């Protein structure tokens, strides 16, 4: 699989040399090649020591991925496909998605707003109408 690296967002590309892959046998049902095919892929990326990440992005990623990192390394496994190449592709796509979400800038702060006078009046009118509807039902149990 020849690629120049893993794209994170629009501007950051992680070089191929910073990713490490490990292969092992997948669990689950198999056929004749089940005991010989190493189709499960573990893809690892050292977020804490990566020189290709800008400092601000690295800090944001470390904070957001805190629960998933082991010694600053993010590891994802893929074993849903029967062949290694498809699992490698899936692992890289998933790694790209996770890192892109972790590197995204924080959302803009919410500006507090208040409902308009018309919206408040409409809400009260609807409550009064609902009350009248329920009042009209009372006492009709003959």
Binned average pLDDT, 10 residues per bin, the chain of 142 residues: 69 83 73 65 88 88 88 87 86 90 89 95 97 86 62
DSSP SS3 for 69: coil
pTM: 0.66
Domain spanning 5-103, CATH architecture: 2-Layer Sandwich (3.30)
Q: What is the pLDDT of residue 35?
A: 56
Q: What is the pLDDT of residue 32?
A: 59
Domain positions in the chain are 5-103
Note the pLDDT tens digit of each residue in 50-63: 888 888 888 988 99
């Amino acid at each position: 699989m020849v690629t120049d690296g893993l794209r994170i967002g629009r501007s950051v590309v992680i070089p191929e040399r910073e990713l490490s892959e490990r292969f092992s046998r997948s669990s689950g049902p198999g056929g004749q090649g089940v005991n010989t095919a190493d189709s499960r892929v573990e893809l690892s990326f050292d977020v804490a020591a990566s020189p290709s990440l800008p400092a601000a992005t690295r800090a944001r990623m470390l904070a957001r991925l805190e629960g998933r990192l082991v010694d600053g390394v993010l590891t994802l496994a893929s074993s849903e496909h029967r062949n290694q190449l498809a699992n490698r592709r899936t692992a890289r796509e998933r790694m790209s998605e996770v890192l892109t979400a972790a590197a995204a800038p924080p959302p803009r702060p919410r500006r507090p707003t208040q409902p308009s006078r018309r919206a408040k009046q409409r809400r009260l009118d609807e409550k009064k109408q609902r009350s009248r509807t329920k009042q009209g039902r009372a006492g009709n149990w003959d």
